[in-house]
Amino acid sequence: MLGTGRTLPDKFTYPVVIKACGDLSLIDVGVGIHGQTFKFGYDSDTFVQNTLLAMYMNAGEKEAAQLVFDLMLERTVISWNTMINGYFWNNCVEDAVKVYGRMMDVGVEPNCATVVSVLPACGLLKNVELGRDVHALVQEKGFWGDIVVWSALPDMYVKCGQMKEAWLLAKGMDEKDVCEGVKPNSVSIASLLSACGSLVYLNYGKCLHAWAIRQKLESEVIVETALIDMYAKCNHGNLSYKVFMGTSKKRTAPWNALLSGFIQNKLAREAIELFKQMLVKDVQPDHVSFNSLLPVYSILADLQQAMNIHCYVIRSGFLYRLEVASILHGHGKMAVKLFNQLVQSGVKPNHATFTSVLHACSHAGLVDEGFSLFNFMLKQHQVIPHVDHYTCIVDLLGRTGRLNDAYNPIRTMPITPNHAVWGALLGACVIHENVELGEVAARWTFELEPENTGNYVLLAKLYATVGRWGDAEKIRDMVNEVGLRKLPAHSLVEVRDM
């Protein structure tokens, strides 16, 4: 469409394309499309902007989403809900609650989606006062007929430790079933069971089990899985196993729940045996299975078994799932143990091996181990350091607040630092509020990646954090300029190359 120049996209085209970018994780293309909205005058269209909010939040680009939100001329309830839900799923629960507070202050009319977005945040923060306010809102607005709202309310009270209120609500669902047509379903029961497991409320969990039987929902897969998980978290593996034995054993989810339960109770070898049985029964593992199983090898520190499961994961095609890959490379101590065993067995590590272990050390905050490994690489194996190795070292030091130490290798490294190295330093400066070094890193990222608005957003966030609002506003103006000047051309290249 853009290549021919005959037909231009409109306000209906952009949301569809932006949503597709989000669904396919094509965030770079999405940023380019965002630039196109400025060019064609859709930067003030609420529908288009709401879709951009969702894309950025789904990609974890919270700062970019906030910038879009702040610049919106008109915000609908969907805009506010997207921000609340986005912050929640990006583990910024307090920010989610703050957005909800602003929404209520400016008088935006909430809906059921608002309630369902903010109640889990109340539960995680154990903010029962706000939860009760939301409960009162549900009563005032007549949201009782939504079963998702009904599920979220008891779950919130359970997580806040208010079991009596949760139980009264749950019992009330039986009455509502008769007089208002609100029927408790498998999802609502599973939600309550999950909360009981997290809080180790065994007696309430047993009551819910009995309630599920009375409602004839105990054989639903989601309920079976929640029961297995709840009993395991309450340290009653025998009951967990008993529920599992009553299932059809043909679905993956109950196996995953029991597998996770074994690992929670430090039954590493039993977990491996269960996984083997799962394969023998021809039940196909999924990414959740591997997410549960892989931490076992950090308990056993068994190189051979770790290599076996690594090969199986590759053959099964799950290595490319982000969660599985992060577990394989994200357990720092396990990675160092396996690396040491690898070297002792006579295998010579290469550039990629060192990068993986350094990356694991960085994410686990293992500063001493990371430095020792870096020096070992230089002195013992005489590996020529790659820019990736320096990025890991800068990230490792920066994460732990040693910003000057992180800056030193950049100044002395024998190769030219790239955008990733400076980006690692900039990210650390934002976390630890170091404006002086942050400005140095930002200048380099602007020069090396002039079209990457994410770097500008990071510097604006740094300025805002330390109260330099004027400077933050200037950087935001630069973001708009970049969107108008750089991104349209960039997006055309991206679209044509797809």
Secondary structure of residue 285 in the 3-state scheme: coil
This prediction's pTM: 0.50
Q: Domain count of the chain?
A: 1
CA–CA separation, 248 vs 261, rounded Å? Answer: 18
pLDDT at 93: 93
The closest alpha carbon to 83, from 102, 71, 104, 69, belongs to 69
Domain presence at residue 406: no
Look up the domain containing 288 and give its range: 249-330
Instruction: Tell me whether residue 466 is in a domain.
Output: no
Is residue 258 situated within a structural domain?
yes
**CA distance readout (Å), 161 to 157, 195, 349:** 6, 10, 50
The answer to whether residue 283 sits within a structural domain is: yes
How much is the pLDDT for 495?
30
- 123 found inside a domain: no
With respect to residue 80, please indicate whether it lies within any of the assigned structural domains: no
Examine residue 298 and state whether it is found in any structural domain, yes or no. yes
Residue 254 CB burial class (10 angstroms; 0-12, 13-18, ≥19): buried
pLDDT in the model for residue 320? 41
Q: Identify whether 307 is part of a domain.
A: yes
Distance of alpha carbon 210 from alpha carbon 190, whole angstroms: 13
pLDDT at 493: 29
Q: What is the pLDDT along the chain (498 residues), one digit of tens a residue?
A: 455 555 566 777 788 888 888 877 788 888 888 877 877 777 778 999 999 999 999 888 898 899 889 888 899 999 999 999 999 988 899 999 999 999 999 999 999 999 999 999 999 899 999 999 999 999 899 887 777 787 788 888 878 888 778 777 766 655 454 334 455 677 778 877 887 887 788 888 898 899 889 888 888 999 999 999 999 989 898 899 999 999 888 889 999 999 988 888 878 888 888 988 998 888 888 877 877 777 776 667 565 566 566 656 655 655 444 344 444 455 677 677 767 766 776 767 777 678 778 888 887 888 889 888 888 888 776 677 888 889 989 999 998 899 999 999 999 888 889 988 999 999 999 999 999 999 999 999 999 988 777 788 889 889 988 999 999 888 888 877 665 444 333 332 233 232
